[in-house]
Amino acid sequence: MLNIFNLYPIGYNYNKKNYIYTRTGIMLFFNMEVSQFLKEKRKLLKLTQQDVADKAGVGIRFIRELEQGKETLQMDKVNQVLQLFGFKLGPISLKK
């Protein structure tokens, strides 16, 4: 039988709900903003903003702006950061 805890970090979308398998269990994220997702994922892994910036190859200011929800950021850099967690930007339905 497949142990879901070996899939870390893997995410998938099912029924418009985003699930993330982690070492400590399954987390569920409902179409949250990238800023909120990054902040929660970073804290879950006990990383500082500086840790994420260093690992993604972006500046600390970029991470701060991303977590604060700045609307005009370069998509390629956002994807660089999300790639650390096994994710990338994608379309989300505006229908609720």
Whether 55 and 76 map to the same domain: the answer is yes
Band of residue 12 on the pLDDT scale cut at 50, 70, 90: very low
> Does a structural domain hold residue 46?
yes
How does pLDDT run across 25-69, given as a tens digit for each residue? 545 555 578 888 899 888 888 999 999 999 999 999 999 999 998
Partner residues linked to 28 by β-bridges: 19
Tell me the percentage of the chain whose pLDDT exceeds 90. 36
pTM score above 0.75 = no
Q: Which domain holds residue 72?
A: 33-88
> Domain of 38: which CATH number?
1.10.260.40
Please state the domain count of the chain. 2
